[in-house]
Amino acid sequence: MSEATAHHEEHHGVGHIVDWRVLIGVLVSLLILTWLTVKVTEFDLGSLNIVIALVIATLKASLVCLFFMHLYYDQPFNSIILVSSLLFVLIFILFSLLDLSAYQSSIIPDYISSLRDPAYPLDQLK
């Protein structure tokens, strides 16, 4: 709340009013970053491609969160919520990936398709 009260001189309502220059700056950067991420895909950088794509996306997302969504001016707890929700998604991804990639090698290839009745096409299976 300290943040909110700090700006009470500027206007008499609640919340923080974001400067126009900030809003427009964010908009322009978002568009540029979008263009950049499209362009960068044209180069084959191997596994770096996805890393770069994700880094740019995260940059864009941070801009949206911080300024469009006011997190920069908000009570910090809201940011904590956002970041921790992302952390839990990460936990979810990492642990299931850990397991699934560990047992891939023990899957018998074509086992499932051998169970499939060839007279019974894929798209009619119930």
Partner 1 sequence: MATTTDTLPGRPYGEVEGNYLTHERGLLSWLTTVDHKRIGVMYLACISGAFLLGGIFAMVIRWELFSPGPTVPGLNADRYNQIFTLHGAIMTFLVIIPGIPAALGNFVLPMMLGAKDVAFPRLNLASWYLWVTGAIFAVTSLVMSAADTGWTFYTPYSTTTQTAVIPMTIGAFILGFSSIFTGLNFIVTIHKMRPDGLTWFKLPLFLWGIYATAIIQIIATPVLGITLLLLIAERVLGVGIFDPTYGGDPVLFQHFFWFYSHPAVYIMILPAMGIISEMIPVFSRKHIFGYTAIAYSSIAIAMFSFIVWGHHMFAAMSPLANMVFSAVTFSVSIPSAVKVFNWTATMYKGSIRLATPMLYALSFLFLFTIGGLTGLYLATLGTDIHLHDTYFVVAHFHYVMVGSTMIAFIGGLHYWWPKIFGKMYSEKWGNVGCIVTFLGFNITFLPQFVLGMRGMPRRYYDYIPEFEALHRLSSIGAFIMGIGLFVTLFCLVYSLFKGKPAPDNPWGSASMEWQATSPPHYHNFTKPPKVGDPYDYTDLVWDPKSEGYYRKAEGQGAA
Partner 2 sequence: MTTETQVIDEGGHDHEHAHSPHLQHHFDTLDQQFNAGKLGMWLFLATEILLFGGLFVAYAIYRNLHPEIFEYGHHFLDPKLGGINTAVLILSSFTMAAAVRFAQEGKQGMLKLCLVLTLCGACGFLGIKYIEYSHKMVHGIFPGKYYNPDEHILEEELLGAHGHGAVAEHGRDHASSSGEETHGEGAHEESTQSAEASAQAAPAEGEFVIEKSQIVEAPEGPEGMVGIVHEKPELPKRPEKAHVFFGIYYLMTGLHGIHVLIGMCAIGWVFFRSTRGEFGPDYFTPVDLVGLYWHLVDLIWIYLFPLLYLIH
- Positions in the binding site for partner 2 (CB under 8 A): 1, 4-5, 11-15, 17-18, 20, 23-24, 26-27, 30-31, 34-35, 37-38, 41-45, 49-50, 53-54, 56-57, 60-61, 64-65, 67-70, 74-75, 77-78, 81-82, 84-86, 88-89, 92-93, 96-97, 100-101, 104, 121-123, 125
Q: How many residues are listed for the chain in this entry?
A: 126
Q: How far apart are CA 55 and CA 47, in angstroms?
A: 13
Least Cβ distance, residue 82 to partner 1 (angstroms): 12
Could you say whether residue 35 binds partner 1 (CB under 8 A)? no
The DSSP output letter for 104 is: G
Phi-psi category of 70—alpha, beta or left, where left has phi over 0 and alpha has psi -120 to 50? left
Q: Which two tokens stand for residue 83?
A: 């970041």
